Amino acid sequence: MDLNLCLKVLDAEQIRQADQFTIKNEPIHSIDLMERASEVFVRWFIHTFDEDSPIVVFCGVGNNGGDGLVICRLLNDAGYTVSLFCVGDPDSGSRDFKINYDIIQNYDIPQTVIDETNLPSMGKDVIIIDAIFGSGLSRPVDGLIARTIEHLNAEPCRFRVAVDIASGLGCSQRFEGGPIMKATHTVSFQVPKLSLLLPQNEKYSGELVIKSIGLTEEYLQSLSSNYHYATLAFIQSFIKPRRKFTHKGDVGKNLLVVGSHGKMGAAVLAGRACLRSGAGLLTIHAPACGLDILQSTVSEAMVSVDAQEQLISRVVGLSQFDVIGVGPGIGTDKLTTDALHTLLENFDHPMVLDADALNILADHKDWIELIPAGSVLTPHPGEFSRLIGSSKDDYDRLDNQKKFCMKHGVTVLLKGAHSSICSPKGTVVFNATGNPGMATGGSGDVLTGIITALLGQGYTGFESATLGAFLHGLAGDLFIRKQAKESLIASDLIGYLPKAFKKIMRTKRKKRI
Task: Give the CATH number, domain containing residue 68.
Answer: 3.40.50.10260
Does residue 167 lie in a domain region? yes
- Identify the pLDDT of residue 116: 82
The CATH number given to whatever domain includes residue 347 is 3.40.1190.20
Q: Is 252 annotated in some ligand binding site?
A: no
For residue 235, pLDDT beyond 60? yes
Q: Is 67 annotated as a binding residue?
A: yes
**Cα separations (Å) of 30 from 139, 171, 198, 262, 368?**
25, 21, 31, 63, 53
Task: Please tell me the predicted confidence (pLDDT) of residue 117.
Answer: 86
C-alpha closest to that of 281 among 452, 498, 445: 452
Confirm whether residue 495 is marked as ligand binding: no
Flag whether 419 is marked binding: yes
Question: Annotated binding residue at 259?
Answer: no
CA torsion through residues 171, 173, 178, 180, sign: positive
User: Is 172 annotated for ligand binding?
Assistant: no
- 131 and 248 both lie in a single domain: no
Q: Going by DSSP bridges, is the β-strand pair 411-414/420-422 parallel, antiparallel, or unpaired?
A: antiparallel
Residues 265 and 187 in one domain: no
Domain boundary among 175, 197, 224: 224
> Does some domain include residue 3?
no
In a domain, 5, yes or no: no
167 marked among binding-site residues: yes
Range of the structural domain that residue 361 is part of: 235-504
Residue 4 counted as domain residue: no
Under DSSP, the state recorded for 289 is G
Q: What is the pLDDT of residues 86-136, one digit of tens each?
A: 999 999 999 999 999 999 999 999 999 998 889 999 889 999 999 999 999
The annotation status of 473 as a binding-site residue, yes or no, is: no
508: pLDDT strictly greater than 70: no
Confidence band for 401, pLDDT divided at 50, 70 and 90: very high
Using a 10 angstrom Cβ sphere, with 0-12 exposed, 13-18 middle and 19 or more buried, the burial of residue 5 is: middle
Same domain, 121 and 244: no
Task: Tell me if 275 sits within 8 A of 301, measured CB to CB.
Answer: yes
- pLDDT given for residue 510 in this prediction: 45
Residue 417, marked binder: yes
Q: Residue 430 has what pLDDT?
A: 98
Is residue 411 pLDDT above 80, yes or no? yes
Q: Do 200 and 266 share a structural domain? A: no
Asked whether residue 367 falls in the same domain as residue 473, the answer is yes
Does 123 appear as a known binding residue? no
241 and 168 inside one domain = no
Identify whether 471 is part of a domain: yes
Residue 364 annotated as binding site: no
What gap in Å lies between CA 255 and CA 270, rounded to an integer?
11
Mean model confidence pLDDT for the chain: 96
Looking at the structure, do residues 266 and 157 belong to the same domain, yes or no? Answer: no
Query: Does the annotation list 317 as a binding residue?
Result: no
Together in a domain, 204 and 256: no
Query: Number of folded domains in the chain?
Result: 2
Please give the Cα distance from 329 to 447 (Å, whole number).
14
Average pLDDT over residues 454-475: 98
Q: What are phi and psi of 255, to 5 degrees?
A: -125, 130
The CA R_g of the chain, rounded to the nearest whole Å, is 26
**What's the per-residue H, E or C state across 333-365?**
CHHHHHHHHHHHHHCCCCEEECCHHHHHHHHCH
Same domain, 110 and 48: yes
444 is annotated as contributing to ligand binding:
yes
- pLDDT of 371 reads 98
Report whether 38 belongs to an annotated binding site: no
Q: Is 271 one of the annotated binding-site residues? A: no
| Residue ending a domain, choose from 178, 204, 224 | 224
Backbone torsion region of residue 487, taken as left when φ is above 0, otherwise alpha when ψ lies between -120 and 50, otherwise beta = alpha
Confidence band (pLDDT; 50, 70, 90) for 511? very low
Q: What whole-number percentage of the chain has pLDDT above 70?
A: 98
Residue 272 and residue 218 share a domain:
no
Classify residue 54 by burial, with Cβ atoms within 10 Å: 0-12, 13-18, 19+: middle
Q: Are residues 389 and 297 part of one domain?
A: yes
Residues 263 and 387 in one domain: yes
Of 175, 203, 224, the last residue of a domain is 224
Q: What percent of the chain has pLDDT over 90?
A: 96
* 338 annotated as a binding-site residue: no
Residue 45 has pLDDT above 60, yes or no: yes
∠ CA 468-429-200, nearest 5°, is 105
Q: Give per-residue pLDDT as tens, 49-87.
A: 999 999 999 999 999 999 999 999 999 999 999 999 999
- Binding residue per annotation — 416? yes
The phi and psi torsions of 509 (rounded to 5 degrees) equal -75, 125
User: In the prediction, which pLDDT does 509 show?
Assistant: 45
